[in-house]
Homo-oligomer: A and B are copies of this chain.
Amino acid sequence: MQDQKSASPAGANLLFLREAEIRAAQDMLFFAYRDFTNAADVILEELGLGRAHHRVLHFIGRNAGMSVGDLLAVLRITKQSLARVLGALIEDGYVAQAQGRADRRQRLLTLTAKGEDLERRLFERQRERIVRAYREAGPAAVDGFRRVMRGIMDDDAHAFVDTADLARETVRKG
């Protein structure tokens, strides 16, 4: 109870790190994630799929041709947890497997046309939210958002995000 620095003359550098600010960040991460993921649930429910299926569709779409091991590393779940979800997506024709050329043990994952279609529908729901938030906040705020989010995640997630960014840059300039 004595951590209130009500009379502190400290500048913004110190002030914005006060406990209440950190707790507000906890709140925001919860609410933003809750409502962002919820946005796609209506479509998923119609198809008898869950959020786990959406995550798999998302990352395969983002990283076409990734191996099962890559996907496990990104999702940070066990092989058995993924098996159920991925198996259902393959059986329903949303995801296709191809034997790796360099390493034939690998099963490289891609979205089928049907899978791309579904992923896009799911994406559009979430897109609305991000677009609204980005528009209201403005470009400078978006840059700040990215920098903070980057700092919150583990360093090894930076690699994934940076790779995706790099791929985007490559396509943009190619």
**B126 touching A26 by the CB < 8 A rule?**
yes
- Tell me how far the C-beta of A59 lies from the nearest C-beta in chain B, rounded to whole angstroms: 8
Q: How many residues of A contact B (CB 8 A)?
A: 68
Binary CB contact string for chain A from 134 to 145 against chain B (1 if under 8 A, 0 otherwise): 111111111111
Q: A25 at interface (Cβ–Cβ under 8 A)?
A: yes
Q: A101 at interface (Cβ–Cβ under 8 A)?
A: no
**A6: nearest chain-B partner, CB-CB:** B172
Which of B25, B142, B151, B172 is the one whose CB lies under 8 Å from A148?
A: B142
**A25: nearest chain-B partner, CB-CB:** B130
Residue contacts A-B, CB under 8 angstroms, 14 given: A6-B173, A17-B135, A22-B126, A24-B161, A26-B58, A26-B130, A27-B62, A28-B161, A29-B149, A31-B154, A34-B153, A35-B154, A36-B152, A140-B140
